[in-house]
Structure 1
């Protein structure tokens, strides 16, 4: 016990227990459940957050001063063999959230964990360590989710994901939505947020807290560790780097709002220790290895990128679809989607990787969707990689040059299923296929107009499949010789007991980029 499991920032039990206890008045202090994430061969991150009034206006969950929290990790579900334990303080500075980075465990096996505070015990969660870096494992099951809008429907998809017992869950952005629908839009509200638009730390904290009260989401987090990245709605719709899409909002003003959103994301997610720096940046891109089978590169496609192409005025504002001829800015090689530092980090990682499958988990469609035949009148949705075609070509050229084995891109954001060939030259759909892309539909958010987009498919042969009419998630089995992907759909987003079915299935074979229908 207690071998190499305490990290910097954890406080020894005697010191914690001298702190004044946060008042709970008998209310349950673990209504937001538990979670684990960022697995390594010898451990993972454990998370919980104490609260007795999860959406209290001040964003502090109704808690008072610091509270001592005991955490335990066991080799069995009954906790007869506890292999690591310790104490940490939960306080107001992090909204009484707890992050514990566990080390010293055995690779590639399940563990169970729980927390105790103020005389109460949390639900039990199940985590799993990653395999040793050189382990030759046979299979890895993934569940992939994005875009869960509380107002748009229930999170029954999360419950079905938990039922599939994944080894790892990927959250690819829009875990929350910052806005609340207006009274004129109330006909589309299944369950109201009951909160003002999030612009402050308290507002963002309460969005996460409300989502975490959902039983299906709690069950998924308790079932398996996760890897999570953000997209735009964790801060503000369609923002790009330090620029808001709202005309007149200066980068300095927007940075304060963005910092609040990032801080709340960290407090709510089981990710490894990170913090806002002097520039109000918070690094979250990272690489996670699963033996020789898979290497994950979790990317941040919002924080470091250039301003939206052809934004109006010095401080932002943009049209969502623009013509190529009117916007030479879109083709500027100085523009970046990931930020040049993150680009270098990714290319260096791909060059070193000897994994059989190299999986890029990121927020936005990479393969592209053009509205036209590529001539001067063709339009592009510039919030995606289509707004950064030169940066995308740098990425695809790196895949050709570095030759990582079996690159596969997993994406979210567009509230629809896509199966794509990622082409070497973004402007030429007939060019070499260098990677496969699977885009998952939303957990609950409404999809874009299906028929209008289907009418564009003849001009987009790189898109093998598209459907925006259904909600759900992606289920993937990664094996040595193939990756098998299923698009899972729920029967009715307005039904908390919705059933699940498979829309279709796809296979990528080892050494052959591009998916085929199963």
Structure 2
């Protein structure tokens, strides 16, 4: 086992994290090839190798075409060997050279003539292969990869080095020189292993001085130490990369998001570098190309990328482990969507081309960023591009609106379904739930999100969602049993999360941070998520990193049956996963573990049964049941199980869209007609907000408790009405998601009066919550999910009907309207 010792940079982490700083043993995997030996004309090399720079090497060279995944990029860079200035005629291998030459004019465009062979920037130049030359004896793995830890770049490589696209037997090394030069990579498996070298690659002004060099025939599941050498000038500091294991073994990886050009926020990079992770999974927004002056051209986008890499802290992070990245919006501009593809195609192409230049990727369909890779035999990662193929954010939500694009969605469904991995990490640059970025988030693409959840994510075992984007840390236990782990920004200003969240949002924290994930093969296989970040909630780099949250869970599923004594009774399940709901439910994909159920009353103060705890095994089933409960019943109840009863009446007051569409669907009352009256533009927020309401003219309800469940799928106004006499006399409590308020008004003879209001109130969207009004004489209390929100005094209206209110909503739902008279 490889034990990590925390440096001073992470000495403040808790003991819990220190226990986790262990990664799987990297065993030696010998490759049966002879070790290199010195050579000369008097001491030739063995058959199958030749003398290069006084050392015997296997024939060939490792190759990579820079930007090969980018169809916009015409140039390419091939890593070809330096022939030590010996001509091919002297070597007797002009035919093997593939493209013999006498001068640069004999070579294809963007390549050059060296030692009678064309080398450099051309796909037409033949390039052979250099296998990893590992001695079968005496080559032990690195016991401490902190040996030779880089402290910063050398002048010849001012932007450091980075490894990327690690696979079982290959990796790609990125670097950028300060001027045109020749570079190669020297790498080794261990302190006693011989150092291997690739062939020389030329960097040029035309290629932005960048090189991507692919190493092949590497040993699987091993750490390599490497450095980039600049010919005739000097060598870079040591750096590290790991290769993917071929077997099922423990490992840890880090996942991060959001790296801006704000160097004062780079304080967590060393914590990531020293975390014991085998790679860093980056989930979008590096760099912020729209920070300051927006980038538009290839040159401007390159400058934005270089600004983030011009810092010793990020050099240490890039040098510590491979980086596996996907992009989001800020690599081009904020919230970009399909409109940019139509109106700014050159800008999109420029941003995408430059991204490929800085982030080597493999195994993606041509020209795309989405792809998969495996780490061991039982863990697979699915990286999704949520920018390149999305429709306009402003388009109306519907079944044809897409964030992924038809081709990518079909690719993802096919890949996920075909995967034989125990654990499937779905890597998204935009969280599936609980975002606050409006239509740019999945809220604007709800149909596609729900279809993805219902047809794939919730039907397959072992799916875990990783995401970023929102600039705060969060853990989401989705109602289906799937978990979503959201990392905060690692180097960008944190944002405040929404305060209105459903119970399945387990934790939120506003501070810089990153995530760690540990995999244990089992059986059963298990994962441990650890959130690292500044303990103090802040928008600044407060530099007090520690463990913010930790959760271990087993991969598997069981069945939980909930049977309350009443259909209207709420319940909350905590433990291995958080579930909440009401009525009878079968939870068919619950992770194994210990669970505790609490019964919750629909009306505050109602007696409920005692909590119950049970253990759920993988493949097993448990049942939570209560057969009776003491307490008072309901004097009025409407569950909307059938068609809309004639006791309910519709009143439309909106003038802009006067036709409401109240109806019953799936046992709930729905209004999706978007009925509203235009506000008075002179007022910041108009009090009347005339829309539509569904009410009970025959009911005469007075003192007591009134409650309703509400689901808001749009972001405008909705609420609950009571004491209704007619369309010009009633009380109304209402909420507005877009304008962030909760409000209590009285309407007397058509005149509106604001009785109480709470500004900057975040109400839950796309989830059920409970609204309750308690009235005793002239005292009124408004509660949301059992918490007091507003209180007031008014006695102008007495008994009356109950109403459900909507203003400008194209999706608002109501269920379980209940009333109990005061004793």
Q: TM range, normalised to the smaller chain?
A: 0.7 to 0.9
User: What pairs with 1:134-173 in structure 2 (closer than 5 Å)?
Assistant: 135-137=247-249, 139-151=250-262, 153-173=264-284
Check conservation: 2:184, 2:197, Cα contact below 8 A.
Answer: no
- For residue 273 of structure 1, report the CA deviation from its aligned partner: 8.5
Check conservation: 2:495, 2:539, Cα contact below 8 A.
Answer: no
The corresponding residue for 1:507 is 552
The corresponding residue for 1:323 is none
Matched, 1:490 2:537: no
- For residue 497 of structure 1, report the CA deviation from its aligned partner: 9.0
Check conservation: 1:442, 1:472, Cα contact below 8 A.
Answer: yes
Report Cα offsets for 1:134-183 as digits up to 9, x if no partner: x121x1211111112223732111110011121111110111112335xx
Check conservation: 1:165, 1:223, Cα contact below 8 A.
Answer: no
- For residue 486 of structure 1, report the CA deviation from its aligned partner: 1.2
Instruction: Indicate how the Cα distance of structure 1 residues 215 and 7 shifts in structure 2: closer, same or farther if over 3 A, else same.
Output: closer
- For residue 397 of structure 1, report the CA deviation from its aligned partner: 2.3
Matched, 1:349 2:463: no
Where 1:40 maps in the other structure, the secondary structure is coil
The corresponding residue for 2:744 is none
If you compute each CA radius of gyration, which structure gives the higher value, 1 or 2? 2
The corresponding residue for 2:377 is 292
- For residue 401 of structure 1, report the CA deviation from its aligned partner: 7.3
The corresponding residue for 2:404 is 338
Query: 2-side partners of 1:42 and 1:161: how far apart?
Result: 25
Report Cα offsets for 1:79-133 as digits up to 9, x if no partner: x51245222121233311111222111110111222122412122211111011x
- For residue 207 of structure 1, report the CA deviation from its aligned partner: 1.6
Where 1:470 maps in the other structure, the secondary structure is coil
Query: 2-side partners of 1:482 and 1:226: how far apart?
Result: 24
User: What pairs with 1:157-306 in structure 2 (closer than 5 Å)?
Assistant: 157-181=268-292, 196-241=293-338, 243-244=339-340, 251-272=341-362, 282-306=367-391
Query: 1-side partners of 2:426 and 2:400: how far apart?
Result: 23
- For residue 252 of structure 1, report the CA deviation from its aligned partner: 4.4
Query: 1-side partners of 2:254 and 2:281: how far apart?
Result: 6
Instruction: Indicate how the Cα distance of structure 1 residues 77 and 88 shifts in structure 2: closer, same or farther if over 3 A, else same.
Output: farther
- For residue 463 of structure 1, report the CA deviation from its aligned partner: 1.8
- For residue 72 of structure 1, report the CA deviation from its aligned partner: 2.0
- For residue 218 of structure 1, report the CA deviation from its aligned partner: 1.1
Specify which of 194, 197, 201 is matched with residue 81 of structure 1.
Answer: 194
User: What pairs with 1:394-473 in structure 2 (closer than 5 Å)?
Assistant: 394-399=451-456, 403=460, 405-423=461-479, 432-433=480-481, 435-450=482-497, 453-454=498-499, 456-457=500-501, 460-467=502-509, 469-473=510-514
Report Cα offsets for 1:409-440 as digits up to 9, x if no partner: 110110011111335xxxxxxxx33x210001
What is the TM-score normalised by the length of structure 2?
0.49
Check conservation: 1:5, 1:104, Cα contact below 8 A.
Answer: no
Unaligned residue ranges in structure 1 (runs of 5+): 22-26, 52-62, 182-195, 245-250, 311-328, 371-379, 424-431
Task: Provide the alpha-carbon RMSD of the alignment.
Answer: 2.9
Check conservation: 1:419, 1:515, Cα contact below 8 A.
Answer: no
Higher relative contact order (CA 8 A, sep 6+): 1
Matched, 1:124 2:243: no
More displaced stretch, 256-265 vs 5-14: 5-14
Specify which of 174, 177, 181 is matched with residue 67 of structure 1.
Answer: 181
Instruction: Indicate how the Cα distance of structure 1 residues 45 and 497 shifts in structure 2: closer, same or farther if over 3 A, else same.
Output: farther
Report Cα offsets for 1:52-97 as digits up to 9, x if no partner: xxxxxxxxxxx3xx5321222222358x512452221212333111
- For residue 369 of structure 1, report the CA deviation from its aligned partner: 4.8
What is the TM-score normalised by the length of structure 1?
0.75
- For residue 16 of structure 1, report the CA deviation from its aligned partner: 6.9
Matched, 1:35 2:162: yes
Check conservation: 1:350, 1:402, Cα contact below 8 A.
Answer: no
Where 1:153 maps in the other structure, the secondary structure is helix
The structure where helix makes up a greater share of residues is 1
Unaligned residue ranges in structure 2 (runs of 5+): 1-56, 66-77, 84-111, 121-153, 559-574, 579-592, 594-823
Query: 1-side partners of 2:207 and 2:343: how far apart?
Result: 23
The corresponding residue for 2:761 is none
Instruction: Indicate how the Cα distance of structure 1 residues 515 and 389 shifts in structure 2: closer, same or farther if over 3 A, else same.
Output: farther
The structure where strand makes up a greater share of residues is 2
The corresponding residue for 2:426 is 360
